[in-house]
């Protein structure tokens, strides 16, 4: 009853905050470091894009999912210690991570420690509220999910999950196919530039592009598994993934940056995303994933 911390929540926010703090401070100086190391503007842009993808993956995505899973059971019985853990772990993690980055940058580059500490002090008041709000959002989502299930269980008009629709099996497979199609153009790029980059010592750029393709592939596989198992988070992830896919690949087509092969792939991805989006919004599919309004009297 008077427990002060939830050690799992505290550890998660502390560790992820440390990583985020380290990456936030490093991101300011990485372009300078790469330019001084002889990287071209194009290569620097690739590395920065991959670095930002990794930052986005850690916070909010991994943080949201991890805290959601850690807090989803009997949440209200430990709500006080959960909030305290987030409030303590977040600033400590961000500050320690930023401090480590500051010391590392000052010792390995021409940047002074005063400059890196100044960057840390100026960024902390802005990054901390965002980080804490993501933690609170994950807790709120866990509470909503718990109460949602309880209300559905009490409903006389809801009889639980039905048999898995055949369409869900197909959509799960389609998600894996879309994931492969998305990384295929990137693999073509790697095949084209990797030899030249490695020959010129650009292992960081090659590794960055390769890691992004892995992250994309794994993300779509996870969504496919969530859909197949009838998880509510799988449905929401599929909704966000398909909408994002439609917008991003429409943007690529509008930009004109493509070959004939990649254009065909983009068009196919748009068609698949459209089919998936229309299907998962159907009433019987939403009922299978428990995405329906519970009757409240």
Pair (17, 143) in one structural domain = yes
Please determine, for residue 142, whether its predicted confidence score (pLDDT) is greater than 80.
yes
Average pLDDT over residues 216-231: 82
* Residue, of 288 and 255, whose pLDDT is higher: 288
How many domains are contained in the chain?
2
pLDDT digits (tens, 9 = 90+) for 88-140: 999 999 999 999 989 988 887 777 888 889 888 888 888 889 889 989 988 88
**2 within a domain of the structure (yes/no):** no
Given 154, 182, 204, which residue is the final one in a domain? 154
**281 within a domain of the structure (yes/no):** yes
**297 within a domain of the structure (yes/no):** no
**295 within a domain of the structure (yes/no):** no
**139 within a domain of the structure (yes/no):** yes
Please determine, for residue 9, whether its predicted confidence score (pLDDT) is greater than 80.
yes
**293 within a domain of the structure (yes/no):** no
Quote the CA–CA distance of 170 and 70 in Å, as a whole number: 31
Let me know if 51 is exposed, middle or buried by CB neighbors in 10 A (0-12, 13-18, 19+): middle
Instruction: Determine if the pTM surpasses 0.75.
Output: no
Average pLDDT over residues 13-24: 90
Q: Domain of 56? A: 7-154
Pair (57, 141) in one structural domain = yes
The reported pLDDT for the residue numbered 212 is 61
**Inter-residue contact 4 to 78 (CB < 8 Å):** no
**1 within a domain of the structure (yes/no):** no
Pair (143, 186) in one structural domain = no
Please determine, for residue 272, whether its predicted confidence score (pLDDT) is greater than 50.
yes
Pair (249, 197) in one structural domain = yes
């Amino acid at each position: 009853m008077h427990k002060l911390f939830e050690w799992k929540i505290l550890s998660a926010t502390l560790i992820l905050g440390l990583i985020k703090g380290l990456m936030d401070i490093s991101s300011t100086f990485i372009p300078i470091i790469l330019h001084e190391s002889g990287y071209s503007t194009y290569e620097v842009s690739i590395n920065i894009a991959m670095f930002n993808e990794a930052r986005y993956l850690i916070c909010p995505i991994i943080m949201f999912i991890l805290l959601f899973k850690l807090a989803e059971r009997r949440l209200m019985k430990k709500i006080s210690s959960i909030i305290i853990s987030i409030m303590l772990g977040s600033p400590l993690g961000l500050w320690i991570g930023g401090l480590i980055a500051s010391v590392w940058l000052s010792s390995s580059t021409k940047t002074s420690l005063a400059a890196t500490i100044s960057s840390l002090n100026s960024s902390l008041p802005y990054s901390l509220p965002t980080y804490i709000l993501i933690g609170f959002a994950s807790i709120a989502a866990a509470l909503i999910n718990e109460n949602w299930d309880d209300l559905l269980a009490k409903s006389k008009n809801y009889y639980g999950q039905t048999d898995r629709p055949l369409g869900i099996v197909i959509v799960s497979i389609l998600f894996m196919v879309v994931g492969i199609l998305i990384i295929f153009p990137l693999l073509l790029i790697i095949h084209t530039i990797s030899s030249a980059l490695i020959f010129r010592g650009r292992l960081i750029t090659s590794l960055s592009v390769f890691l992004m393709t892995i992250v994309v592939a794994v993300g779509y596989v996870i969504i496919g598994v969530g859909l197949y198992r009838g998880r509510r988070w799988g449905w929401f992830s599929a909704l966000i993934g398909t909408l994002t896919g439609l917008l991003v690949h429409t943007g690529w087509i509008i930009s004109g940056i493509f070959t004939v092969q990649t254009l065909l792939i983009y068009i196919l991805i748009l068609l698949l995303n459209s089919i998936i989006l229309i299907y998962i919004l159907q009433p019987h599919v939403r009922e299978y994933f428990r995405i329906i309004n519970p009757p409240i009297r």
